[in-house]
Chain A
Amino acid sequence: MNDSFVTNGWPMFSTYTDSINKMIPEAKAIYELREVGDTPIDIEAESVHPVCQHLKTQFGFHVLEVITGCDYPDRIEVSYILANFTDNQEVILKTKLSRENPVVDSVSDIWSSANFQERECFDMLGVHFNNHPDPRRILCPDDWEGFPLRKDYKTQERYRHMIVNPESKMNIEDREFANKQKALEAKQKALEKTKADAMAEPKKVAEIVEDKKDDQGEKS
């Protein structure tokens, strides 16, 4: 199971970070063990390329599985998931970029699979990769505007004289429903916050009651 891999992998995290920090001190590799899920290793954006090269030569991570970009209000995080099939190891490297000018060195000279992955990351989130051999969009058309997976993305109105979201084809009911759900969620969050501010301990009781309600709802 993946869980057993995680527990087996735990002692390895420190060896990775120690080795990286010894060879490339400016990478500042750190990790924080997470209780659920996988633990990423954080590194500085400027040293992504040397760290990847080091991990490949030193620890035999000969496969780059995927590059994930994730948009946060104040930063863009890019994760590199590397794998070693001979020793059955896996590691998640994570780096933070600024939202206004996200630039990072390309690793496509280390792994060829990075070529498409980086193109997708650029297409979806607008992260620029230095020294990329083919920096084009991959899934959207070349003259598409904006980066769809950014949280503040708004679809352009027209694309080459075509209306992108014509009203006749929009599912307005679905949209209204989603907006309603979102408003409800925001309301609940605000309520929970005020409750938590008012009294710390009774909040737990309230939560338990809510959970019970959920269970009953499931049965009925």
Chain B
Amino acid sequence: MNENFSNQEKLKTDLLTINMGPQHPATHGVLRVEIKTDSEIVVQAIPHIGYLHRCFEKHAENLDYRGIIPFVDRMDYLAAMSMEWGYVLAVEKMLKTEIPLRAEYIRVLVCELQRIASHLMFFGTYLIDLGAFSPFLYAFQKREWILRLFEELSGARLLYNYIWIGGVWNDITDQQLKGIEKFCHEMDLEIAKYHKLVSGNSILINRLKNVGVMDQNLCFDYGLTGPILRAAGVKWDLRKNRPYSIYDKFNFEIPVGEGFKGTLGDCYDRYMVRMLEMEESLKIIRQCLEGIEAGDIQAKVAKNIKLPAGEIYSKSECPRGELGYHLISDGGKTPYRLKIKSSCFTHVSALPAVAAGQLIADFVATIGSIDIVLGEVDR
């Protein structure tokens, strides 16, 4: 043995394994991330998921096409309207149903409101992760208004079962439309307030810039979509690039990351893209309020829905990314197979790639910035 070894070199330097979750408040649900740390630095992160696995794909094989709608609600419970719409789009494309114009307008309205509600939730909880408490309360005030409206429309606050095959369940009243117009005006002021309070705050900027960079190549490699892909500077939004429903009628921009305060595709870009998206959603809602006309809200659909044999992969743009339904039908009353492509599931798979080399505190900021809902990850 070499006697010149100092005491320091004889110290044990194993990696320390820490379990983040499943009850960690910063993981937004029951996500467990096993991290191997070298003092304060993450060397490896292994996500463990499945705590909320209910296997809706198996349930769907035993349910008729209408009965599946309440189940897809329960995937992303913060954006249930968008989940319903994606599923309903797939079935309607197979049936080749024509939807009444008023129903399409109502669908766009509620889904854009849902996008705002979901991004407000992100805004609030993300800042709690970072240590700021009061923005959460501001965000929940406005989110509450949207949930109240949805409760008036559908009778439920979170899980709506509102968008049905061929239309929507309940008509929207003129009074509610006026209320939405007022809300848009208030929301404009509110977003300006958020920017003043949070976005320009130097503590937040220093906390988020250059942290958790997800660049374009990583996004394509891992199949990341939605705000994460746009924050990396890619102008890809299904509402513009492959417009479904009546999105081609609206005039709106796709906000992309520009490296606002640091590197392109860092946590600050992802935060900022979501904030800008809320403004674009408000634009769409205003155009909806101008364009909406009286008319039917439900197309004629057979009582017992039977899809023709075949398959379809239909995608829609949800607040958290692209949601895809791969529906395989054998001509019966129930789907033969319904595979749900959840954006959050793919986003979790990219976590190990960005985690290596980060500080533990920055890793928490990264998990918050990809904005996952574990109900959608596990399905």
Q: Which residues of A contact B (CB under 8 A)?
A: 1-3, 5, 34-38, 40, 62-66, 68-71, 79, 81, 85, 88, 90, 92, 111-113, 115-117, 120, 124, 138-141, 148-149, 178, 185, 211, 214-215, 217-218
Q: Say yes or no: A37-B93 contact (C-beta < 8 A), given A85-B234, A149-B58.
A: yes
Are A70 and B336 in touch, CB under 8 angstroms?
Answer: yes
Chain A proximity of B349: nearest CB distance (Å): 4
- Which of B131-139, B206-214, B262-270, B304-312 makes up part of the contact surface? B304-312
Residues of A within 8 A of B222 (CB): 111-113
Residues of B within 8 A of A117 (CB): 346
Are A34 and B324 in touch, CB under 8 angstroms?
Answer: no
Q: For the complex, would chain B's binding face be called helix, strand, loop or mixed by DSSP majority?
A: mixed
Chain B proximity of A145: nearest CB distance (Å): 15
Residue of B with least CB distance to A3: B93
Q: Say yes or no: A92-B313 contact (C-beta < 8 A), given A5-B242, A116-B348, A139-B378.
A: yes
Q: For the complex, would chain A's binding face be called helix, strand, loop or mixed by DSSP majority?
A: mixed
Chain B proximity of A185: nearest CB distance (Å): 7
Are A111 and B221 in touch, CB under 8 angstroms?
Answer: yes
Other than A1-B243, A38-B310, give 12 A-B pairs with Cβ distance below 8 A.
A2-B244, A34-B310, A36-B310, A40-B311, A62-B221, A66-B341, A68-B326, A79-B326, A85-B236, A113-B221, A138-B50, A149-B57
Most buried by A among B310, B314, B336: B310
Residue of A with least CB distance to B234: A85
Q: What 0/1 readout, one digit per residue, does chain B (323-346) give for beta carbons within 8 Å of chain A?
A: 010111000110011010100011
Are A148 and B58 in touch, CB under 8 angstroms?
Answer: yes
Residue of A with least CB distance to B221: A112
Residues of A within 8 A of B327 (CB): 37
How far apart sit A120 and B379, CA to CA, in the bound complex (Å)?
Answer: 12
How far apart sit A140 and B310, CA to CA, in the bound complex (Å)?
Answer: 29
Residue of B with least CB distance to A94: B311
B241 touches which of A40, A69, A88, A148 (Cβ 8 Å): A88
Are A178 and B62 in touch, CB under 8 angstroms?
Answer: yes
Q: Say yes or no: A81-B58 contact (C-beta < 8 A), given A5-B242, A66-B341.
A: no
Are A2 and B93 in touch, CB under 8 angstroms?
Answer: yes
B310 touches which of A37, A120, A148 (Cβ 8 Å): A37
Residues of B within 8 A of A2 (CB): 93, 242, 244, 312, 314-315
Q: How many B residues face the partner with a CB closer than 8 A?
A: 49
20 inter-chain pairs at a CB distance below 8 angstroms, sorted by A residue, are A2-B314, A36-B96, A36-B310, A37-B310, A65-B322, A66-B313, A66-B324, A68-B339, A85-B234, A85-B236, A92-B313, A112-B222, A116-B345, A138-B49, A139-B49, A139-B378, A149-B57, A149-B58, A214-B302, A215-B303
Q: What 0/1 readout, one digit per residue, does chain B (31-65) give for beta carbons within 8 Å of chain A?
A: 00000000000000000011001010110001000
How far apart sit A153 and B177, CA to CA, in the bound complex (Å)?
Answer: 49
How far apart sit A185 and B362, CA to CA, in the bound complex (Å)?
Answer: 56
How far apart sit A134 and B16, CA to CA, in the bound complex (Å)?
Answer: 21
Chain A proximity of B345: nearest CB distance (Å): 6
Are A62 and B220 in touch, CB under 8 angstroms?
Answer: yes
Chain A proximity of B342: nearest CB distance (Å): 9
Are B303 and A113 in touch, CB under 8 angstroms?
Answer: no
> B353 an interface residue at 8 Å Cβ cutoff?
yes
Chain A proximity of B40: nearest CB distance (Å): 26
B94 touches which of A37, A68, A211 (Cβ 8 Å): A37
Are B234 and A36 in touch, CB under 8 angstroms?
Answer: no
Residue of B with least CB distance to A151: B61
Q: Say yes or no: A37-B304 contact (C-beta < 8 A), given A63-B220, A111-B221, A140-B53.
A: no
Q: Say yes or no: A81-B313 contact (C-beta < 8 A), given A68-B326, A113-B346, A139-B50.
A: yes
Residues of B within 8 A of A81 (CB): 313, 324, 326, 341
Residues in B233-264 with C-beta less than 8 Å from chain A: 234, 236, 241-244
Residues of B within 8 A of A65 (CB): 223, 313, 315, 322, 324, 341
Are A214 and B93 in touch, CB under 8 angstroms?
Answer: no
How far apart sit A65 and B242, CA to CA, in the bound complex (Å)?
Answer: 16
Chain B proximity of A110: nearest CB distance (Å): 9
CB-based closest 6 A-B pairs: A113-B223, A37-B312, A116-B349, A37-B310, A66-B341, A139-B50
Are A38 and B58 in touch, CB under 8 angstroms?
Answer: no
Residues of A within 8 A of B94 (CB): 36-37
